[in-house]
Amino acid sequence: PLQCCINPSILSADFVNLEAELARIGNADAVHVDVMDNHFVPNLTIGLPVVERLQKVSPVPLDVHLMISDVDRWAPSYADAGVASVTFHVEASDAPIKLARELRARGAKAGMALRPATSVEPYLHMLSELDMLLIMTVEPGFGGQSFLDVVLPKIRRAREAIEGSGVDVAIQVDGGITEETITRAAEAGANVFVAGSAVYGKSSPADAIASLRDAGQR
Ligand code: DX5
Ligand code: ZN
């Protein structure tokens, strides 16, 4: 079976107590950090100074999801902060292959994200440049939305292409992941699962992570 990673999203955590919120998810594989600029998406969260501080105190690796415009300019600085992975939206990049190479050269895993309506086919040739493909299962911008089943065939095609070409690329899904929807995403071929409300919305985030991990094993 594919390895199953559960990456809670701090978008659903208490932004005034981020260090304490990280301590509640010590059994997670990584913490998903949503960076939004109120331009690429209609919401604003945190930027580089906060990510740099999180990197210094987090007990788990940082999985940074950049929902920002002009990402070719900004993403390398996040890699320089020492985070485990940096994921940029292909819709916001002028030169995705160049950017993925730059992230890897700076020591981060390179992730590329697709909005729900963005096709994967034009990017299958560049899978070897990536460590992770993030297939959004909601429109980026907000936590607490419903999982879009319409995206499942895209996950399936991406998984087939990855297996067919023998590259080692994780498929991350983000948005509306619950104990119910995670099984469909896993069955389609996803193996890294972001969950905001389904982790931080529970009284025990650690128990929620354990339950999601069981359910996400395909
Ligand atoms: C949405 C963010 C997600 C969000 C997911 O744009 O990218 O990471 O936190 O939240 P849930 O799991 O509540 O859908
Ligand atoms: Zn995200």
Q: Give CA separation, 133 vs 19, 52, 112, 170, 189, in Å.
A: 28, 23, 5, 6, 12
Instruction: Pick the residue whose CA is nearest to atom 6 on ligand 1.
Output: 140
CA distance 189 to 218: 9
pLDDT digits (tens, 9 = 90+) for 45-74: 999 999 999 999 999 999 999 999 999 999
Q: Which residue has the higher pLDDT, 217 or 43?
A: 43
Least confident of 2-6, 124-128, 155-159: 2-6
d(CA 198, CA 105): 34
State the pLDDT at residue 4: 78
Phi-psi map region of 161: left, alpha, beta (phi>0 left; psi -120 to 50 alpha): alpha
What do you get for the CA distance between the two ends of the chain, in Å? 6
Rounded Cα distance, 84 and 13, in Å? 20
Which ligand 1 atom minimizes the distance to the CA of 65?
7
Report, as an integer, the average pLDDT of 103-107: 98
Convert the pLDDT of each residue in 141-169 to its tens digit. Answer: 999 999 999 999 999 999 999 999 999 99
Is pTM beyond 0.90 here? yes
Catalytic hit among 29, 34, 37, 131: 34
Interval between CA 140 and ligand 2 midpoint (Å): 7
pLDDT digits (tens, 9 = 90+) for 168-217: 999 999 999 999 999 999 999 999 999 999 999 999 999 999 999 999 88
Strand partners for 133: 112, 171
> How far is residue 155's CA from residue 40's CA, in Å, rounded to a whole number?
23
Q: Tokens 């099984």 label which residue?
A: 183
Q: How far lies 57's CA from each of 18, 92, 194, 206, in Å?
A: 10, 29, 21, 18
Clarify whether 14 is annotated catalytic: no
ipTM value, please give it.
0.99
Tell me which ligand sits closest to the C-alpha of residue 181. 1
Lining residues, ligand 1, CB within 6 Å: 9, 11-12, 32, 34, 65, 138, 140-145, 174-177, 194-198
Gap from CA of 126 to ligand 2 centroid (Å) = 22
Mean pLDDT of 128-135: 98
Strands (E), 45-145: 62-67, 85-89, 109-114, 132-136
Is 34 an annotated catalytic residue?
yes
pLDDT for 168 equals: 95
Fold exhibited by the domain 5-215: TIM Barrel (3.20.20)
- How far is residue 48's CA from residue 77's CA, in Å, rounded to a whole number? 8
**Residue 76 and residue 89: Cα distance in Å, rounded?**
14
Chain-wide mean pLDDT for the chain? 97
pLDDT higher than threshold 90 for residue 31: yes
* Shortest-distance ligand to the CA of residue 64: 2
Could you report the per-residue pLDDT of 74-101, keeping only the tens digit for each?
Answer: 999 999 999 999 999 999 999 999 999 9
Q: According to the model, what pLDDT value does residue 111 have?
A: 98
Looking at the predicted structure, is the pLDDT value of residue 218 above 80? no
Which residues are part of a known binding site?
9, 32, 34, 65, 141-144, 174-176, 196-197
Binding-site residues from annotation for a divalent metal cation: 32, 34, 65, 174
What torsion, rounded to 10 degrees, do the Cα atoms 20, 23, 24, 27 define?
Answer: 170
